[in-house]
Every structure is written in C-alpha cells, then in structure tokens.
Copies of this chain bind each other. A is one copy, B any other.
Amino acid sequence: MLIVMKPDASDHEIQRVIQIIESVGLKAHLMPGSNRMAIGITGNPGPVDPSPFADLPGVSECVRVTKPYKLVSRELRPERTVIRLGEAQIGGDEFAIIAGVCAVESREQTLMTAAAVAEMGCRFFRGGAFKPRTSPYAFQGLGEEGLKILSEVREQYGLKIVTEATDEPALDLVERYADVIQIGTRNMQNFSLLRRAGQARKPVLLKRGMASTIEEFLLAAEYIMSEGNYQVILCERGVRTFANHTRFTLDLSLVPAIQGISHLPIIVDPSHSTGKREKVIPLARAGAAVGADGLLVDVHPYPERALCDGPQALVFDMFRDMVQQVRAIAEIVKIHMEEGITK
C-alpha cells in the first residue's frame, strides 16, 4: 500500500504514520515527490487494511498497489528517479556514458583509457576488479589492487567509478572504493547479494539476467530497494536466444517497457550483448535512440591484448566517434520527449 500525504503535511504527521506502520511489524519507505511525500508499505503478507491510516491528520489518500513489485513502480513514485553524484547524473537531462575497460589489467592500461574517456567529457568510468568468469581457470580480476587503480582514476580525472561486486566480501570493498556498485547479469537473482547492496549507501547498477523477464528484473531491483537503497540503475545487456550472430540478443524494447512501469533510470550495454566491436557503435546509437538514459561501453587501448572480452572493446578512435554520434541522437530524442507528443 502507498500512503500519499497532503502537500502541507508536517514532519510530525509523517512520523506518526511511520510509527503506526512499524508498530504492526511492517516496513515504511519514504518516497519524496516534488510537492508531497508518499510512504510505501512493504512486509505485508496480504492486503494492508487502510482504515488505521485513512483518517490520520496529513494523510491525503491510501492507494493499493496491485503489482508484485511495489517500490520500483510508477504507482508508488510517478516522478522519474535521477541518480546524482556531484555533477554527474543518470536519469537526468544529460545522456550518461559509462565507459572504460572490461577488466582492470594494469595501471597503465586503465589510466590510458581513463584519459580517453575524460577527454570526451564523459563522467563515469567502468572497470572490473572482480570478474565473474565462466571458467575457474580464467583471469579473475586484480581484486583490491584493481580498486586502488580505479581510485587513482577518480582522483586524476574526476571520473565517477562504476565497478562490479561479485560477492559480499567484494561488495564491502567496492562500497569503500567505488561510486556505483555494479551487480552483474549472473548475480541478478543472487538474493543475498541484492539485499547486501540494498544496505549499501551507494547507487547500484543492476544488470538484467540473461534469461530474465521484465517482472523478474523489476523484482530484483525491488530486493535492493526493500532494504532501503532507492538508488538503482537498471541495465539491459542482452538476453539469450537462438540467434548466433551476436553473443546475446540486445532487447531494446525493454527500455520503453520499463519506462512505462518504473521510475528507475535504465541504460544499455552494447558491448557485452554483441561481443563484436563492429556492432557496438550501431547498437550504441540504437540505445540512445530508443530513449535509454545512458550507455555502458567497453574501451581498450590494445583490444588484441585484453585479458577479457577483447573482441568487443572499442579502440579510442571508434570510442570518440561513438560519443559524438550517440550525443547527437540523444539530443534529438530529448527534444521530442520534451515536446511531449510521445513518451
């Protein structure tokens, strides 16, 4: 259930609602809007009885939430969520480009790439220090050593750091060193890790599972939010199908589908979905055009020497070219969305 407060409800009135919710063993989630506060209730096994709330001072209305997902939904929060990190933002006016190396392999490779990313005016740097690898014998990332290199990127270039946490000990470290905690596709239903991310104080970038329905994806975000962390960025990265001309099939229709249901920002990863460099720029353009809030893209100074996913990394010239193209397209989309004829 969602309790919508009147625009002029006092803090005291809001606190009283929260107390009543908690007194019956349920959980209250504050959902501030531009001109009124709303309070989501979770933890209830069945429908919540609105009667103890309906006549409280400051309460405007009690709304039943009908979907299995609650906190992620536009029913609970009609305004779109914008993730802000200093001047950088995801879900706001600026199209967010999160670029960098698939895996942090060395200080030199990482800083070279960061320079190219910063030079293009991008605000986010990605780089993996903990790599979830299909084989136990493959390179598993530099760990904390890699996180330190990423911190250097932030200090030197002012870029916000996005990096993956593959398990709870890794998340403890990532929370300390990074700006955004990434949860990968293979962990989208690692519910303990989702709960732990929900207790973190930093935004979480959640990648869609490779066989996940839209409902499962939103419920994974709901796991994070139900623990009190409302800073979630969704990421479409391709799903598994019979098609064999790419590693995964990028499902761009998810972007408008999510936007119709949820207030959370959603970005697109054209690198891991295609697995092949020459398809990355076309799909990055398509991601901007479909209306996503940003991109997650792999760049590498020498892709042929990459320890992980080299064939999909853009070289610097291609990256610069991509940035120009996607920004021009994102601008067109923004103008048309603001004109409001279409979403």
Contact mask for chain A residues 260-299; partner B; CB cutoff 8 A; 1 contact, 0 none = 1000000000000110001101110111111100000000
User: Could you tell me the distance between the alpha carbons of A176 and B167 in the complex, rounded to whole angstroms?
Assistant: 22
A219 touches B136 (CB 8 A): yes
A333 contacts partner chain B, Cβ-Cβ < 8 Å: yes
User: Could you tell me the distance between the alpha carbons of A134 and B215 in the complex, rounded to whole angstroms?
Assistant: 9
B226 touches A137 (CB 8 A): yes
B249 touches A249 (CB 8 A): yes
User: Could you tell me the distance between the alpha carbons of A281 and B342 in the complex, rounded to whole angstroms?
Assistant: 8
User: Could you tell me the distance between the alpha carbons of A329 and B134 in the complex, rounded to whole angstroms?
Assistant: 36
Instruction: Looking at the assembled complex, report how far the CB atom of A194 sits from the nearest CB atom of chain B, in whole angstroms.
Output: 8
Q: Work out how many copies of this chain go into the complex.
A: 4
Instruction: Looking at the assembled complex, report how far the CB atom of A307 sits from the nearest CB atom of chain B, in whole angstroms.
Output: 10
A210 contacts partner chain B, Cβ-Cβ < 8 Å: yes
A191 contacts partner chain B, Cβ-Cβ < 8 Å: yes
Q: Which of the segments A82-90, A99-107, A118-126, A239-247 contacts the partner chain?
A: A239-247
Instruction: Looking at the assembled complex, report how far the CB atom of A259 sits from the nearest CB atom of chain B, in whole angstroms.
Output: 9
Q: Which of the segments A9-17, A52-60, A250-258 contacts the partner chain?
A: A250-258
User: Could you tell me the distance between the alpha carbons of A134 and B216 in the complex, rounded to whole angstroms?
Assistant: 6
User: Could you tell me the distance between the alpha carbons of A329 and B245 in the complex, rounded to whole angstroms?
Assistant: 25
Q: Which of the segments A28-36, A108-116, A182-190 contacts the partner chain?
A: A182-190
Q: How many chain A residues touch the partner (CB < 8 A)?
A: 82
Instruction: Looking at the assembled complex, report how far the CB atom of A260 sits from the nearest CB atom of chain B, in whole angstroms.
Output: 7
Query: Which of B70, B191, B260, B285 meets A333, CB within 8 Å?
Result: B285
Instruction: Looking at the assembled complex, report how far the CB atom of A272 sits from the nearest CB atom of chain B, in whole angstroms.
Output: 12
Q: A257-B279, A278-B256 are in contact. Are A133 and B245 (CB under 8 A)?
A: no
Q: Which residue of B lies closest to A194 (CB)?
A: B136
A342 touches B318 (CB 8 A): yes
Instruction: Looking at the assembled complex, report how far the CB atom of A264 sits from the nearest CB atom of chain B, in whole angstroms.
Output: 15
A132 contacts partner chain B, Cβ-Cβ < 8 Å: yes
Contact mask for chain A residues 24-56; partner B; CB cutoff 8 A; 1 contact, 0 none = 000000000000000000111100000000000
Instruction: Looking at the assembled complex, report how far the CB atom of A145 sits from the nearest CB atom of chain B, in whole angstroms.
Output: 18
Query: Which of B136, B193, B260, B290 meets A222, CB within 8 Å?
Result: B136
Q: Which B residues lie within 8 Å of A187 (CB)?
A: 189-190
A283 touches B278 (CB 8 A): no
A214 contacts partner chain B, Cβ-Cβ < 8 Å: yes
24 interchain pairs (CB within 8 A)? A68-B135, A68-B137, A132-B189, A167-B193, A210-B211, A211-B240, A213-B242, A214-B243, A239-B243, A242-B242, A243-B251, A246-B257, A250-B252, A252-B283, A253-B283, A282-B289, A282-B291, A282-B343, A283-B290, A285-B289, A286-B290, A322-B342, A324-B336, A325-B332
Question: What 6 A-B pairs have minimum CB-CB distances, sorted nearest first?
Answer: A211-B211, A289-B289, A167-B192, A186-B189, A285-B289, A286-B286
